[in-house]
Structure 1
Amino acid sequence: MSVSIDIENVVKRYGDKTIIDGLSLMVSPGEFFTLLGPSGCGKTTLLRMIIGFNTIEGGEIKINGNVINNIPVNKRNMGMVFQNYAIFPHMSVKENVAFGLKNRGLSKQEIEDKIKEILDIVKIDEYKDRMPDKLSGGQQQRVALARAIVIHPQVLLMDEPLSNLDAKLRVEMRNAIKNIQQQVGITTVYVTHDQEEALAVSDRIAVMHEGKIQQIGTPRQVFERPLNVFVSNFIGVSNILEANIETNGGERNINFDNNYIVKMDNLRDDIKDDLKVLVSVRPHEFIISKNEEGIKGIIKGSMFLGLNTHYFVALEDGKEIEVIQNSDLSDIIPNGTRINLEVKPNKINVFDCNSQKTLIQVGEKHEYAS
């Protein structure tokens, strides 16, 4: 049976320094929940608080409503997969996976049955008698995953489990981890700084910065509708442009510096006229226009990547941006060509220049947590 995790106003201090100050979030039963953020943002600290490696100076962590703050690590019934795998080098694959089961006093036959079952799930049964130094990085990671899951923990915690693998193997293993998690149905908290990895595996993502949660949402929500400039810049590539709001009766428009005006129908009702804003435009949200209207720029370089061509464009104010266009739409535009760029009003994001928070009307499922 899957469990929920409730983190309520938790505080973590090291001496006089507060790393996490009153953070709250909830993980649903069976959910694959990812803590995403740059190095030093507090995501691993929070993970270690859940499993019990770190003390909690304030607030509560609950599993299915039961407070676990003072429960020892070995009594929390959680599995952990570390960045460096942490498998025993002197034990075979089978012996590594059996370690936690032996400590729980299971019979020899029960241990054999559980090992066979989990090695089949993680697809390394054929390597059960090998020593770790005879395994690839991906195979070692599967051993670590099997050892964490075989004890049937209530919660699976994973701390940057793919960071030591090469790019191709990371993609293979992230798909494997997601499939295994869905097959087992275990509540999982996953830590990574890799945005693409988080988007690929997560049911929901909490984006963290300086010990605070900036946004919680599905991968699509945090990518398409970031709630502040930090999330917009951290998730994927964003071009940030300055503009002003123009109101005309019930209409709200964005006026870029060269009087390129874009009508918006999804801005908040309380926005004032002439408000300075930051507009986030993903590279694929630009349209190279055949009209005279638009944001004016000069192509400084291009990169053909098969389905898409990436253009590097210098705007009139000197700012450099990236524009992605479908390669099938036209021939590659030569360097030095002057172009006009339009934006897709229903795709771009608009932020208050001072607060750096979104001015887009967003649904209730988008969350800030503090």
Structure 2
Amino acid sequence: MGVAIDIDNVVKMYDEHTVIDGLSLTIQPGELFTLLGPSGCGKTTLLRMIIGFNSVDGGAIKVDGQRINDVPVSKRKMGMVFQNYAIFPHMTVAENIAFGLKTLKDSKAQMQSKIDHIMKVVHIQDHHSKKPDKLSGGQQQRVALARALVINPNVLLMDEPLSNLDAKLRIEMRNAIKEIQQEVGITTVYVTHDQEEALAISDRIAVMNKGVIQQIGKPEQIYLRPSNLFVAQFIGTSNVIKAKVEKQGTDTFIVFNGEYKEKLDNVVETVENGQEVLVSVRPQEFTITQEASAIAGVVESTMFLGINTHYLVTLTTGERVEVVQHIEDKAIIPEGTNIYVKVKPHLINLFDVANEQTLMKAGE
């Protein structure tokens, strides 16, 4: 069973520049928790604070209830997998994995037993005598993962572990990492800037920007109900268009382009009649229709991607949006065609113009 990690109001500064200022979160025992955000958002800095490579300038980090701020890296019982693998080119697979065991003072028989076991867990048992240059990128990453896990750490930390792999291998390895993490049951903190990767493997995700956590939640929560406009635009593709709120008695409508409107049942009650809002609509949340009462636009470009066709559409308001249509039996719409689009009201998200925070009811 994994351990809990409590990060309480931590601060990190570089030359009087505050990178992380009072960040707090709790990682549950045994979960795969992902720190997701753009480059420079502080996610790797936080990871390095957890393992001890970076000092903590304020607040506390606790593992299983024990404060570890001043505990040396070698005493924290954590394994780390780096972006560039960091495996030794002159050593075989087995020797690389054994490297982390040397400080444990195990007997040769104990070491070999642990090495054999972990190679089976990560599926590289057939490559024990090979040097790294004889392995694929995915196999090298499995070696790095085995080396981190063989010491039986309490926590596994992974810093952009798949960024050096090609697209097909990334998918293969993210599935492998999720499977291995679940089998071992170790508390894992995973850093990435790749939204799809985070959605695919995580139990929970913390979206970060400029050293601040924007939202923490399960992948489907963050994708379907982002807490602010930054999260909506960072997770996946999202069109942002302007609209107004219209209240009729107890009913709330969202009005586009002054005439097309949809009733919404999950907007906070504090929205006011006539209030301007920003609406996040993912490409697949549009429906192309023949109804002239919908939002009018012109197809500027078409991109056929097999199962779907992507259209870049300029609306009569001047706003440009991406619309995705599932092929089925539909013919591809030529460029220059006038079209109308509607939104799927139960999927779209509304945000306040001033602070860009969600206007959707929690959990709906």
* TM-score bucket of the superposed structures, by smaller chain: over 0.9
Tell me, yes or no, if the aligned pair for 1:37 and 1:207 is still in contact at 8 Å: yes
Distance 1:338 1:175 in 2: 43
Kindly state the Cα deviation for residue 257 of structure 1 after the two structures are TM-superposed: 2.2
CA distance in 2, matches of 1:330, 1:134: 48
Q: Would you say the 8 A contact 1:258–1:295 is kept in 2?
A: no
SS in 1 for 2:232: helix
Once residues 4 and 61 of structure 2 are traced to their aligned partners in structure 1, the CA distance between those partners, rounded to angstroms, is: 11
Q: How does 1:253-332 map to 2 (within 5 A)?
A: 253-332=253-332
CA distance in 2, matches of 1:174, 1:42: 22
Residues 1:124 and 2:124 are matched in the alignment: yes
Quick one: which amino acid aligns to residue 259 of structure 1? E
- Equivalents in 2 of 1:220, 1:363: separation in Å? 11
Asked if residue 51 in structure 1 is aligned to residue 51 in structure 2, the reply is: yes
Q: Deviations over 1:279-301 (max 9, x none)?
A: 00000000111211111101112
Report the alpha carbon displacement of residue 26 of structure 1 after superposing the two structures with TM.
0.7
Q: What displacement does 1:166 show?
A: 0.8
2:135 maps to which residue? 135
1:332-351 aligned at under 5 Å gives the runs 332-351=332-351
Aligned pairs for 1:24-63 (under 5 A) are 24-63=24-63
SS at match of 2:101: helix
Q: Report what 1:81 is aligned to.
A: 81
CA distance in 2 between counterparts of 1:318 and 1:275 reads 21
1:329, CA displacement in angstroms? 4.3
Q: Deviations over 1:184-219 (max 9, x none)?
A: 110000000000000111010000000000000111
Task: Give the secondary-structure state (helix, strand or coil) at the position aligned to 1:253.
Answer: strand
In structure 2, distance between residues paired with 1:251 and 1:258: 18
Could you list the per-position Cα deviations for residues 233-272 of structure 1 after superposition, in whole angstroms to 9, with x for gaps in the alignment?
Answer: 0000000000111111111111112421111110001111
TM-aligned CA deviation for residue 325 of structure 1: 1.0
Which secondary structure state, in structure 2, belongs to the residue aligned with residue 71 of structure 1?
Answer: coil
Please report the TM-score for the alignment, with normalisation by the length of structure 1: 0.97
1-side partners of 2:329 and 2:47: how far apart?
46
Q: 1:201: which partner in 2?
A: 201
Higher deviation after alignment, 242-251 or 146-155: 242-251
> Do the aligned residues in 2 keep the contact of 1:280 with 1:350 (CA within 8 Å)?
yes
- Runs of 4+ more than 2 Å apart: none
Measure the CA separation in 1 of the matches of 2:237 and 2:227: 15
Native 8 Å contact 2:257 2:317 kept in 1: no
Q: Which moved more, 1:261-270 or 1:150-159?
A: 261-270
Q: Deviations over 1:63-98 (max 9, x none)?
A: 111111110000000000000111112211101101
TM-score, with structure 2 as normaliser: 0.98
* CA displacement, residues 118-139 of structure 1 (integer Å, 9 cap, x when unaligned): 0011111111111112211111
What is the DSSP-based 3-state SS (H/G/I as helix, E as strand, rest coil) of the residue aligned with 1:177?
A: helix
Letter in 2 for 1:42: G
Q: Is the partner of 2:259 in helix, strand or coil? A: coil
Aligned-residue offset at 1:317: 2.3
Paired residue for 1:102? 102
Aligned ranges for residues 186-265 of structure 1 at < 5 Å?
A: 186-265=186-265
Aligned-residue Cα RMSD (Å) equals 1.0
Over the matched positions of the two proteins, sequence identity in percent amounts to 61
Deviates more, 1:122-131 or 1:231-240: 122-131
Q: Greater CA deviation, 315-324 or 40-49?
A: 315-324
Give the superposition deviation at 1:39. 0.2
In the alignment, structure 2 segments of 5+ residues that lack a partner are none
